Structure 1
Amino acid sequence: MNPRALAGIAALVGHYDVLFVDQFGVLHDGTAPYPGVRDALARLRDAGQRVVLLSNSGRPGPYNAGRLARLGLGPELYETIVTSGDTALALARSGEIPVRPGMRCLLIDSGGQDTAFCDALGLVVEAEPARADLVLIAGSRGDVVTEAEYRAMLAPLARRGARAVCTNPDRRMLVPGGTAFGAGRIAELYEEEGGTVDWIGKPHPAIYAHAARLCRVRAERVLCIGDSVEHDIAGARGFGADSALVRTGILADAAPAALRAAFVRHGVWPDYVLPGLVW
């Protein structure tokens, strides 16, 4: 049960065909890359190791690529980005998520009002909750909006039977100075009020299956790297891949006892523990 502690990712180069690497909490904290990350990505690339970024972002891959580039992590450092937003769009287009053009969609995000999902499917962005047919939970403003405010806004839609799609299952998110509740918690509130939620993103299986198809790789040849036991490590186990937990992000300050408690609580242990994504 005890994960193997490693000083850096160099020890695992060539052991796996593809590394599925989380974004927030592993590559950066939302404002800057973590120390050593750019060097590690460059060395992985130079060693011929495939790196695919697997992110619980409700926004599409190209948006995330732009944000990473502005942080100094350009597209030359990884193969591609697969997001939960991309996965949800693919599922909607295939009919696995029941949406239809013209539906009125209430968009809940981090404040940027990214309408790519709605635009691609012909949905109408609806600012008035009472008129919405669908709720897209893509982000959270949990650092400025309370759970009670979200609950009051969403409860009438849940009681009316409007379906919700959560494209970012993270229950906690990094914010300046700490963490706040994320989109996953908002989706939980919706379920608590009786609403139905389609969960897209880690730890749920669809994002892994989508990424594996795109990369033409089998689960047993993948190493998943992340900072969340609940999402990255549990998701890897469900997918059938090995996993590595980094001690940056939401568990950066967790004491050993708290870390063990998280493993027990979620019933999963990583195969490796790294101080960060460092060489």
Structure 2
Amino acid sequence: MTDPVPARLTRLIDIAPRFGAIVLDQWGVLHDGTRPYPGALAAVAALKDAGVPLAVLSNSGKRAAANARRITAMGFAPDAFDLVMTSGEALWQDIMQARVTARRLCPIERATGDAAEWAAGLAVTLTRDIGAADAVLLMGLPDGADPAAPAATLSQARALGLPVLCTNPDRASPRAGGLTVTSPGALAHDHAAAGGAVRFYGKPHLPVFRAVEAALGLPPERLLMVGDSLEHDIAGAHSAGWTSAFVEGGLHAADFAQGAGDDALARLAATAGAPLPDFTMPELA
């Protein structure tokens, strides 16, 4: 028996009344890291005006407040989203509640200072000396950087038996101009394949979906996940029991540039080992 073909959407607001809230991915759905996607600002404003509760669920290593500021800086209304949840926020909360006991962290970050900003308010020490650490914090990579240096740090972590706390499970992320860059998840998966211990935070892993449900006070069947990653957004939503809508114009934009449609979707889902989404749309509108 074959999976049903996903329903095609033109506007998200057409199915919004079916759900208690709509949860949007950030990169690849709202913006490309530099500017909002065409139609995204208007789509979010229309949903907000219609009284649809909106949330953001992002595999960002930074905390929720930092991401809320970034989204507002892109032009979205400060009150557009009822909730912003990130993988970095989930780890921060776990450390604050002593669900994670590591207190000396060796950071791998996109920009100097990211880890210090993330760690504010926690009783943790950040150290570049991996020999003095009890875990590696893998939260970001500079765009286009040679992965050799962070890979060497992870090799040392394996030799020392240190766990890696990965707050961005994405293997790649979309950028302006249709580019994609390597994301921390790619290194974390390589590290795990080499025998290293990794604790992943974020999509597709179930805890972050359950955290959103708890924050919104809604059961899984009342939530719609809108994302551009079959491996993370769509697979995670499926595992959580949420409905999903796949945006073609983000991470996989090049695969749909020639109008391949359902064939490209089926091929990408098979490659990612992910289920098909319930809905598809070219871009957020």
Task: State TM-score, norm by structure 1.
Answer: 0.93
The aligned runs of 1:1-279 (5 Å cut-off) are: 1-99=4-102, 103-114=103-114, 115-141=116-142, 143-146=144-147, 148-177=148-177, 178-254=179-255, 255-256=260-261, 257-265=263-271, 266-278=273-285
- 1:34 and 1:226 mapped to 2: Cα distance? 13
Identity %: 33
- 1:138 and 1:263 mapped to 2: Cα distance? 26
Tell me the number of residue pairs that the alignment of Structure 1 and Structure 2 aligns. 274
Q: CA deviation at 1:2?
A: 0.6
Is 206-215 or 112-121 further displaced after alignment?
112-121
The Cα offsets for residues 113-166 of structure 1, whole Å up to 9 and x where unpaired, read as 3224433331111122333221111112251122x3322222111121111111
- 1:258 and 1:194 mapped to 2: Cα distance? 33
Code of the residue aligned with 2:23 in structure 1: it is: F
- 1:241 and 1:207 mapped to 2: Cα distance? 13
Is 247-256 or 21-30 further displaced after alignment?
247-256
Code of the residue aligned with 2:64 in structure 1: it is: G
The Cα offsets for residues 53-106 of structure 1, whole Å up to 9 and x where unpaired, read as 11111111111111112111132222121111111122223333232xxx3211
Alpha carbons of structure 1 residues 33 and 261: separation in structure 2 relative to 1, 3 Å: same
The Cα offsets for residues 28-71 of structure 1, whole Å up to 9 and x where unpaired, read as 00000001111111110111111001111111111111111211
Contact 1:223–1:241, Cα closer than 8 Å, also in 2: yes
Contact 1:55–1:83, Cα closer than 8 Å, also in 2: yes
Is 5-14 or 248-257 further displaced after alignment?
248-257
**What secondary structure, in the 3-state scheme, does the structure 1 residue paired with 2:106 have?**
strand
The Cα offsets for residues 193-235 of structure 1, whole Å up to 9 and x where unpaired, read as 3221111100001111111111101000000000000000000
- 2:5 and 2:36 mapped to 1: Cα distance? 29
Is 223-232 or 179-188 further displaced after alignment?
179-188
Code of the residue aligned with 1:46 in structure 2: it is: D
Code of the residue aligned with 1:218 in structure 2: it is: P
Contact 2:19–2:222, Cα closer than 8 Å, also in 1: yes
- 1:237 and 1:191 mapped to 2: Cα distance? 24
Contact 2:92–2:119, Cα closer than 8 Å, also in 1: no
Any gaps of 5 or more consecutive residues in structure 1?
Answer: none
Is 43-52 or 133-142 further displaced after alignment?
133-142
Contact 1:159–1:194, Cα closer than 8 Å, also in 2: no
Any gaps of 5 or more consecutive residues in structure 2?
Answer: none
- 1:275 and 1:112 mapped to 2: Cα distance? 36
Alpha carbons of structure 1 residues 143 and 91: separation in structure 2 relative to 1, 3 Å: same
Alpha carbons of structure 1 residues 210 and 116: separation in structure 2 relative to 1, 3 Å: farther
